[in-house]
Amino acid sequence: MPEGQEKQRLRDGFGREITYLRLSVTDRCDLRCSYCMAEKMTFLPKADVLSLEELYMLSDRFIRRGVRKIRITGGEPLVRRDILTLMTMLGERVSAGELDELTLTTNGTQLGKYSEQLKDIGVKRVNISLDTLDREVFAKLSRRDALDQVMEGIEAARAAGLKVKINAVALKDTNEDELPRLIEWSHEKGMDITLIEVMPLGDIETLRSDQYLPLTAVRERLKALWTLTDLDFRTGGPARYVKVKETGGILGFITPLTNNFCAGCNRVRVTCTGEIYTCLGSDGKLDLRSALRSATPQDALDEVLDRAMIGKPERHDFDIDRHDTRPAVVRHMSVTGG
């Protein structure tokens, strides 16, 4: 197929149109959050990771097949050398009207360096993972004493004019009592915040059932403090939102375990090695790297993408069972980029 010729938009077997790509550019991270990865992680050999040029070729094919939003993820994407080169090229696709949005998920440690450049590239908003405002709890959770660095990154992003949303994983006996304060703090600074249930991905040192805090219980506690009004507002992701009357801010809930969110799924994930996962909560994958490196990469990519659409499951496989210590999904969150 000639490079400029368009193929049909990506649509799975359940009629869901795929318009959102979460693209992981590295599995490496400068933190070691206990719910995400093991302390002594074995990262991928650099030779296995797609080059920036290959990541752009993949992105281009997705754009040509109807993807309108790309989120750059990791690991921590900003630790990837020269990552702004890729983001600059994708930013040009936003300027040309071929993408609606280019966004970034980050732990915030590198935003002090890169916020201004991200804004210039065309990134308008970033999601920052932050589970606590307590320095000791942060150090215990992330296994790094880096809270000050993250806070500086958040302020740098806000100063650059980036819209910041905080993502916080709700963890039993760890940050559950602090969640109201974290919400208040976010709203005081004009930042929305989303709470996320822990997801059973990858072997870690802690039992997922010991970490799991259902957001139904959290919401009931918050309703005793504040007035929560459900919103129809959607961002293309799985979160469901409420307005907190007393703080004036927006609060999201991502509930893969207590309230399955798969019916409206519009996204796929691609790892930094070129594996496409059509569902975060499933181990099913296909190889895009071989297609990229074939004699006819455009045709080969289209063939794999079509097969991926046929194989995309109706719903995820997440479950937490206290009597079964195995993770529902073998790979770590950092491999797929959340």
CA atoms within 13 A on the CB side of 47: 0
Q: How many CB atoms lie within 10 A of CB 168?
A: 21
234 is an annotated ligand-binding site residue: no
Is there a binding annotation on residue 240? no
* 61 in a known ligand binding site: no
Q: Is 289 annotated as a binding residue?
A: no
| Segments in the chain forming alpha helices (H) | 52-64, 83-95, 111-121, 135-142, 147-159, 179-188, 208-211, 215-223, 289-292, 297-311, 333-336
Tell me if 29 is assigned to a ligand binding site. yes
Annotated binding residue 333 = no
Given a contact cutoff of 8 angstroms between Cβ atoms, the answer to whether 103 and 134 are in contact is no
Q: Which of 204, 205, 182, 202 is nearest to 192 (CA)?
A: 182
- Please check if 284 is assigned to a binding site: no
Annotated ligand binding at 265? The verdict is: yes
Is 241 flagged in the annotation as binding? no
Q: If 0-12 CB within 10 Å is exposed, 13-18 middle and 19+ buried, where does residue 41 land?
A: middle
Q: Annotated binding residue at 219?
A: no
Q: CA dist 193 to 46, 72, 122, 186, 243, Å?
A: 34, 19, 22, 7, 11
- Is there a binding annotation on residue 267? yes
To the question of whether residue 272 is assigned a binding role by annotation, the answer is: no
Closest CA to 283 of 318, 309, 254: 318
Give the CA radius of gyration of the chain.
19
- Does 269 appear as a known binding residue? yes
> Which residues make up each annotated binding site for GTP?
22, 71, 105, 165, 267-269
> Which residues make up each annotated binding site?
22, 29, 33, 35-36, 71, 75, 105, 129, 165, 199, 262, 265, 267-269, 279
> Which residues make up each annotated binding site for S-adenosyl-L-methionine?
35, 75, 129, 199
> Which residues make up each annotated binding site for [4Fe-4S] cluster?
29, 33, 36, 262, 265, 279
